[in-house]
Amino acid sequence: MGIADRDTTLGDLNRLDRDNYAHIDNKDCKTYAFPSYKFAVKFMGQAFDNAMRKCGVKVRVGMASTKIDRMMKSRGVKVEHREYGQDEILYRSGIFIYDNREIAAFISNPFVREGNIIDLYEKYHVRTNVKGVF
């Protein structure tokens, strides 16, 4: 079964997506803690920039979106933001960056861990496999 086969079902795509996520999550993901939502979002931005640069897409301030789209397309880079329901793992929602149809990076949305003693100085968390952000 190829990803572009006529016989590929939505279930097949869902299974492939979950397998890819499990591979990247088990491989290199770390969870980082922040004192505020604002710091967590800033970290997400830095991780996103690092991941895009690693894929060959260097976005500069003020760059036109059409130029960014062309650059991403020419390098085979695709970005998706996915939101999963509450029945999913807490940190699974976030940004998925694909480089030539392979997951190159994952950056979760900021989340608060439930059921644990929460340190007031580390309330928000982001899970990612992107290196070199700190």
Q: How confident is the model at residue 92 (pLDDT cuts 50, 70, 90)?
A: confident
Given this model, what pLDDT does residue 109 score? 93
DSSP conformation letters of 57-78? ----TT--HHHHHHHHHHHTEE
| Planar angle of CA 126, 84, 58, nearest 5 degrees | 50
Residue type at 133?
A: V
Q: How confident is the model at residue 1 (pLDDT cuts 50, 70, 90)?
A: very low
Between 56 and 122, whose confidence is greater?
56
